A and B are shown apart, each in its own frame.
Chain A
Amino acid sequence: MREIQGKAVVEAVAGMCMRGNTELPGDVRRKLERAMAEEDSPSAVEVLRQLLENADLAHDTKLPLCQDCGLAVLFVEVGDDCKVVGGNLRDLINEGVRKGYADGYLRKSACDPFSRANTGDGTPAIIHFDLVPGDKLKIAYMAKGGGAENMSRVTMLAPAQGWEGVKKFVVERVAEAGPNPCPPTIIGVGIGGTFEHAAKIAKRGLLRELDDVHSDPDVAAMEKELEEAINALGIGPMGLGGKTTVLGVKITIEPCHLASLPLAVNVQCHSQRHEEIIL
């Protein structure tokens, strides 16, 4: 059994929170640059130019890319043959989030649903654990802003609605959201599982590299079809019109109940802040 020191977990998580909020990931930057080259509309080009300038400035000053540093969402894969020592893994991750959000001057956005009182330190983080073979601990971090998350939906379609029903729901959701979630967005689509599982796999899909192609050619074709249908809406960067409404669509499909066709649409803003570390 391989031992992983708790302190290493805290430091790794804190570092991811700070880097994640100040460094625009390379895959997102490449997509924004490509979109800027392809857009004809001056307002679309100007928005994309500002976003790239913003990314440079955040890199230089260590100011967060966006004031909404999100709720910290972490997907954790714990290898069967490793053991974290020096604390409970959930507590250690929360300690890392607390440290990263304090040391990085990041906005703490966790609050009570009714009193709206801020918890003050960015925790509790939203943590999804999975058990996997091996002796490694993999932690992926995502800063999930409220504006885009608010535009997300879960629905339970009838099986007869099939792919056409899925496509209609996703495209209409993005159309209805319009300028609100800070387009160009990234759309995580979870199909199958149960009510809550569809939402989880939709979000997990957002961690994929933007320019990767799904390993299953059928799913890759579905992603392309959705991306083209959404971009045809013409919403464009910040809703001002243009060719780029989404930077990518990431579909995850898993088996579901005979009676169900669960569907989740997780909307992510252009500031797709994510980091990953293997301990």
Chain B
Amino acid sequence: MGEYKLNTPLRDEDIEQLKAGDVVFLTGVIYSARDAAHKKLVELLDAGKELPFELEGSAIYYVGPSPAPPGRPIGSAGPTTSYRMDTYAPRLHSLGMKASIGKGKRSDEVKAAMEKYKGVYFGATGGAGALLSNSIVESTVIAFEELGPEAVREMKVKDFPLLVINDCHGGELYVKPRLDTTG
């Protein structure tokens, strides 16, 4: 298992070297978007309008943070379950998104899109939102403010700790449950 320090925007060569199980510390700018924001992003694409951020080389973090208390850039900010964004992810990968960050399984369609367009799926530790917020140094709402916790945020991260769950070579880190042992 390798360990990498990567910066955004992510390039094909950044992604190609990664294998499931590698640890990545990500620095740069990432964008938060979850269910409601994805729906709106895709509506913008359908209408031929511009997205609030550049997709090429981007990393999207599936997160709806808690409100920032005084003196901190953001509240607790761990990943939400990713499968709910599976409907949208292949299209975003085809338009240049390089990485998504979340927790839990992805669909075969998302995995195929990552192979085809050189993308990666990172896992962050679910339920460690206070700890993960320490790696987010700045956060600004850039779109869909009315969505509250689900608004799109531009987040500056420093050494954000991630694990490669699905790489662009078909590799996956999640274990298959041993159902046969249960009778």
Contacts of B80 in A (CB 8 A): 68, 146-147
A13 sits at the interface (CB 8 A):
no
CA distance A107 to B81 in the complex (A): 16
CA distance A235 to B69 in the complex (A): 35
CB < 8 Å neighbour of A234 from B66, B130, B177: B177
Count contacts on B: residues with CB < 8 A to the other chain: 44
The interface-forming segment of B5-13, B48-56, B110-118, B120-128 is B120-128
CB < 8 Å neighbour of B76 from A63, A175, A181, A241: A63
Q: DSSP majority for the B interface?
A: loop
CA distance A61 to B69 in the complex (A): 10
Smallest Cβ-Cβ distance to B126: which chain A residue? A182
CA distance A62 to B131 in the complex (A): 12
Contacts of B21 in A (CB 8 A): 43
CA distance A191 to B134 in the complex (A): 42
Asked if B123 contacts A238 (CB within 8 A), the reply is yes
The interface-forming segment of A2-10, A45-53, A214-222 is A45-53
Asked if B72 contacts A233 (CB within 8 A), the reply is no
B175 sits at the interface (CB 8 A):
yes
Within 67-123 of B, Cβ neighbours of A (below 8 Å) are at: 67-69, 72, 75-78, 80-81, 83, 103-105, 123
CA distance A67 to B124 in the complex (A): 13
B137 sits at the interface (CB 8 A):
no
CB < 8 Å neighbour of A66 from B105, B127, B149: B127
A54 sits at the interface (CB 8 A):
yes
Asked if A120 contacts B128 (CB within 8 A), the reply is no
A100 sits at the interface (CB 8 A):
no
A118 sits at the interface (CB 8 A):
yes
CA distance A167 to B179 in the complex (A): 12
CB < 8 Å neighbour of B127 from A63, A146, A235, A271: A271
Contacts of B129 in A (CB 8 A): 54, 63-68
Asked if B69 contacts A105 (CB within 8 A), the reply is yes
B132 CB, nearest partner CB in chain A, Å: 8
A178 sits at the interface (CB 8 A):
yes
CB < 8 Å neighbour of A51 from B36, B127, B174: B127
Asked if B177 contacts A175 (CB within 8 A), the reply is yes
CB < 8 Å neighbour of B130 from A57, A118, A175: A57
Asked if B69 contacts A108 (CB within 8 A), the reply is no
CA distance A109 to B65 in the complex (A): 11
Contacts of B150 in A (CB 8 A): 116, 118
CA distance A118 to B145 in the complex (A): 12
Asked if B173 contacts A64 (CB within 8 A), the reply is no
Asked if A269 contacts B179 (CB within 8 A), the reply is no
Task: Evaluate whether A67 and B65 lie within 8 angstroms (CB atoms) in the complex, with A232-B182, A269-B126 already known.
Answer: yes
Asked if A179 contacts B103 (CB within 8 A), the reply is yes
Asked if B175 contacts A240 (CB within 8 A), the reply is yes
A192 sits at the interface (CB 8 A):
no
Asked if A233 contacts B81 (CB within 8 A), the reply is no
- Since A54-B125, A58-B76, A67-B77 are in contact, a sample of 17 more A-B pairs with Cβ atoms closer than 8 Å, ordered by chain A residue number, is A51-B127, A51-B128, A54-B128, A54-B129, A63-B76, A64-B75, A64-B130, A65-B130, A106-B67, A108-B148, A109-B149, A118-B149, A179-B103, A179-B123, A180-B105, A240-B163, A240-B174
Residues of A within 8 A of B (CB): 43, 47, 50-51, 53-54, 57-58, 61-69, 105-109, 116, 118, 120, 146-147, 150, 167-168, 171-172, 174-175, 178-182, 229, 232-236, 238-241, 269-271
Pairs across A and B, CB under 8 Å, 28 listed: A54-B129, A62-B69, A63-B72, A63-B76, A64-B130, A65-B76, A66-B129, A67-B64, A67-B77, A68-B64, A105-B75, A107-B64, A107-B66, A107-B67, A107-B149, A108-B149, A118-B150, A147-B80, A147-B103, A172-B179, A175-B179, A179-B103, A179-B105, A180-B81, A180-B103, A182-B126, A233-B181, A240-B173
- Return the 10 tightest CB-CB contacts between A and B, nearest first: A180-B104, A175-B177, A182-B126, A107-B66, A54-B131, A241-B175, A63-B130, A67-B76, A233-B177, A54-B128
